[in-house]
Structure 1
Amino acid sequence: MLKQFFIICSGADQDILEGCSKGEQTKYVGIGATVFFTAVMAFIASSYALFTVFDNVYPSLFFGLIWALLIFNLDRFIVSTIRKRDRIGREILQATPRILLAVIIAIVISKPLEIKIFEKEINTVLLKEKNAMALQNKKEVANYFKSDLDKNKAEIEQLQLAITTKEKEVNNYYETYIAEAEGTAGTKKLGKGPVFKEKIAKHDLAKAELDSLQVRNRTRIAELNTTATSIQTDLDKKITESQPIIDGFDGLMARINALNKLPWLPSFFIMLLFLAIETSPIIAKLLSTKGEYDFKIEDQETALQATIEQDKYQRELLVKTSATIHDKIYEDLAQDKSIYDLQRKNATELLKLQSNNFLEKQKQTL
């Protein structure tokens, strides 16, 4: 059962192969097994690659199966169409495009499996890239809101500076009228004289202005602080909203790029392994000697070719002979007087009809 299945996978003619030796059958069983297991590896690789795209098992398995069947069909076609020739040069020339196709298939199959094999290393590279992207994103978002925050901060500082300046002015007036009352400055007379009253009046006026300025500026500062909090909230929200996009930066293309940033030698050897697996049926056919199966296939093909060429020659000869006979018949008929008289009579009647028809048309136009 398994033997028959692998023979089917090899693309060999089962009826012809059944009449061959056990060794010949074993050779094609091995070729068929290689084709089958290459398709299995293609199924695993494509399913994993598609899982990184869909994040769902079922569509990944479905499309992975379709891809595996496609690879299986291609490999089976490549192997089954290679024919053993009398000269090795012709065999290599025949196999060259098939080998190139096998190389492409091997690269396509190996890449997703490389991604899975080096998954931990790739995750490390992706983590570094995500961290760098997160920092860059925060920087860009901060720069986007920077002008509004700087403008808000500058206005708060100006309002606070106005209050501080007025407080200093009020404190100076306070020190001046206290010194006047103590007699340590100004008129240097102890007590609350006219100068003292004048200076305390200035202090009270400045203090009233300070109180009004504090109420007005602190109200505005509170509004600006609320605005700053709102801007900061928007900034944090923007960063939070963009973070899932950065966290999701682990798709197939990102992993392939991350794989390319790792040392190339391990990945290269894995690719060579799949290249050897994919091209092994072709190489096996090229290196093997011309076997019993090949002779039987060649016998069938040459017999069919000979039959086709013989049928073609007979048809060409039949056409040529028939043409010669018909030429002779028509040549003899051309000499027959009765046929000539009949043709002359018919032509005369036809001319009369044409003349009468022309006359009627001419009358209608007058």
Structure 2
Amino acid sequence: MTRTSRLMILLVAVLLLGAAGTGAVLHAANRSGERNQEQAGGAPVRTGTVSLRPDGGRRLLVRNLAWGPHRDEIASVPAGRPDGPRTVSGVKCLRFHAAAGTGICLQARHGALEDTYRAVVLDADLREVRHYPVAGIPTRARVSPSGHLVAWTVFVSGDSYAGTAFSTRTSLADARTGAIDDNLETFSVVKDGRPYHASDINIWGVTFADDSRFYATLATAGQTYLVQGDPAARTLTTLHRNVECPSLSPDGSRIAYKKRVPGAPADAPWRLYVLDLHDMTETATAERRDVDDQALWADGSTLVYALPGDYGSDLWTVPANGTGAPRRLMRSAVAPAYLG
């Protein structure tokens, strides 16, 4: 064997060993990243296709809060396996909801001097249909059962409902035409059966019955009210006191909401209740902790809501009829929406 041949063999061996070593390092780093991601937020996360179209099974979509490159992306899991691997979409939202192939995504756009926010209407493939600038920090979002209407609430000033030094702006838009009512405070208010006018009115937390009727919270003079809204007539009618962030049951008969309770701390004043719309009776759920969220009905008997967690928020469930006990549904997630 010539000297040149021996040098060539040595060079090839060095290159092969280097490639093997690099591969081993990358594989170890990859596995370490996967382990770290699991430790820093729960279930494994994988990229893939996330759609709002029916796929033959019930799914739960959430904003993923697990630390890593996919934090804040909308993720999908089978509804029956909320602790399973999450398929992430690449679409980042601060607040999200979806129904009937339409999504609403409230996003932050980070600038050199300040952040701005926008509401983005998404189609069934999570592609942008249109967007609207919003005046503050996103806090609530909902889509009507038909997918035709979307609504969102932002903080124009302040960043918490707990005190009184905040102002909200709630908007309602037609996902098909793009027409928008930018501020529901311009609707006519009927309070206790009479027309009502005040400069301190705040509206937040829309939940839809259908395309002709919704519910929301109205605050004025230090009180909050459940109101029924008529988008065509542009009216809001008060129904019940001390109701915030309402969520209508699938059969339209009950409202889940957060209620201020006597004796609770000023910065944690709420408990989760359910209101029967037929006779206005209230039922306290078994969740005794402070719930600052717009709960979601997982089905006709179970509520899903967010509570603070190690990486932002975890999702919890509790029966709507006051029985049972709370249980954690999903770590490192917020803004749930059930599809299918």
TM-score normalised by length of structure 2: 0.21
More helix by share: 1
More contact order relative to length (CA 8 Å, sep ≥ 6): 1
More strand by share: 2
